[in-house]
Amino acid sequence: MFDFDWFREIASTIKKNKARTFLTGVAVAWGILMLIILLGAGNGLKNGVQSNFSRRAQNTVTIWPGWTSVPYKGMPAVRQIKFDNKVYNYLANHVPEVEYISAMVHQNVTLTYGEKYGTWNLNGVSPDASHIFNIQPSKGRFINEIDIKQRRKAIVINQDIAQVLFPDGDDPLGKFVIADNLTYQIVGLYEDEDGQSNPPAYIPFTTAQTLDSYGYGFRRIDFTVRGLDTEEANDEFITRLRQSLGSMQHFEPTDLSALYIWNTAKDSLQMQGMFSAITLVVIIIGLASLMAGVVGVGNIMLITVKERTREIGIRKALGAKPFSILKLIILESIMITTVAGYIGILIGVAITEGVSTLLDGMPSDGPTMFKDPTVDLVTVALATLFLIFCGVIAGLIPAVQATRVSPIEAMRAE
């Protein structure tokens, strides 16, 4: 199907019109370059926002007890709601949407080892907290069920805490640290990927529950949900949850101050919808830029056909088939579009990778809104295929026009 003479002829035609071909190629390269950069920027924004929630599963619901603001079945308007084991067991065993669940009791403490010390949050949690907050110990283990049942003074610390308390590089595992005059044994270390300035340490919630001023209950409960794939399903679940807990804890379900709920599952769906809209806008803008270059290719091919009218007529008079002429024009269009577009892709990928490397090398003391602004190989492959398709479309109309040239009329052309 392909003949080297065709490509040599195409190269000769391009060489005769260097400036025109170059400017048209620049338009195509600029269009695909802008598409790659815009897609990379959209990915960078998405990755940055999602990285701020990397320590927390995206289908998590957190509930806190509050104070009632309206009377309920003869009870006064202002009452404090408290969570106890009954609430925890109900959520864990009687709500089918709940997957992982963890109680939490937290306080701010000073951790000490020898002469080294620092102040951090100390969170009492359940073993399921490792799934809810995506905690993967790099050494040792996380809190387990035996720690909970026996109310062990076990603690899991962050690598940043370990660097402060063990600056000489000693292995912290098995060491004992003091938190407000109580001794805890380090059973695990984890790395915090969020860049928090005050990463927490974790102990069994039953231990924290005993030491906390409440003396019982929990200050909050976190759990992941499953099967809630739409915002409507999440709204229905939250309404049902308020009704159940309102009946159990004796408060009006519509009293928002009695029960505070943060539903990241719904927030995640909204965020995904927002990023989908941003991606769509980016693609539309990028494709519009690319189509401007493709239209330029179509115009240059029309001019080429008009300039070569006499030549095409001679070819047809000598017996050239319409398909050979059609193929010659389309191949020239594909070559211009693909080569120029691929250069644009390479520049775009180089720019996004360079920015990504630059951002990775910059120190980060907290949450970021922009991270890893790159495009994947699938996007690059699709862009390449789209360029070839655009090359075919850009050359099709001029090619069809070339096949309709009458040899007699072509011989009269100047």
Determine phi and psi for 78, rounding to 5 degrees.
-105, 105
Q: Minimal CA–CA distance to 193: which of 394, 47, 93?
A: 47
Residue 109 and residue 242 in one domain: yes
Give the span between the Cα atoms of 28 and 286, in whole angstroms. Answer: 11
Q: Minimal CA–CA distance to 186: which of 178, 202, 175?
A: 175
Query: What is the pLDDT, as a whole number, of residue 1?
Result: 47
Residue 239 and residue 289 in one domain: no
Residue 378 and residue 282 in one domain: yes
Handedness of CA 6, 8, 13, 17 (dihedral sign): positive
Task: Name the packing angle between helices 4-16 and 18-51 (round to 10°).
Answer: 100
Residue 98 and residue 231 in one domain: yes
Residue 215 and residue 324 in one domain: no
Residue 189 and residue 274 in one domain: no
- Residue 104, domain extent: 60-265
Residue 407 and residue 339 in one domain: yes
Final residue in a domain of this structure, among 265, 300, 333: 265
From the DSSP assignment, how many helices (H) and strands (E) are in the chain?
13, 10
Give the span between the Cα atoms of 141 and 186, in whole angstroms. Answer: 10
Task: Name the packing angle between helices 377-403 and 264-307 (round to 10°).
Answer: 30
Residue 13 and residue 116 in one domain: no
Determine phi and psi for 271, rounding to 5 degrees.
-65, -40
Residue 258 and residue 324 in one domain: no
Contacts of 356 (CB under 8 A, 6+ apart): 44, 372, 373, 374
Predicted TM-score (pTM) of this structure = 0.62
Q: Which residue has the tokens 């099967």?
A: 227
Residue 105 and residue 169 in one domain: yes
Q: Report residue 73 as tokens.
A: 């079945």
* pLDDT one digit per residue (tens) for the chain, 414 residues: 455 666 676 677 777 777 777 877 787 788 788 878 888 887 777 777 666 655 555 688 999 999 999 998 888 888 988 888 889 899 999 999 999 999 888 888 889 998 898 888 899 999 999 988 888 888 999 999 999 999 999 999 998 899 999 988 889 999 999 988 889 999 999 987 655 567 899 999 888 877 764 545 678 899 999 888 888 888 899 999 999 999 998 999 999 999 999 888 777 777 777 777 877 877 777 777 767 767 777 777 777 777 667 777 777 777 777 777 777 777 777 787 788 888 888 888 888 888 888 877 665 555 566 677 777 777 777 777 777 777 777 777 777 776 776 666 656 655
The total of structural domains in the chain comes to 2
Query: What is the pLDDT, as a whole number, of residue 188?
Result: 94
Are 227 and 97 contacting, i.e. CB atoms less than 8 angstroms apart? yes
Q: Which residue has the tokens 């984890």?
A: 190
Final residue in a domain of this structure, among 265, 286, 311: 265
Determine phi and psi for 72, rounding to 5 degrees.
-145, 115
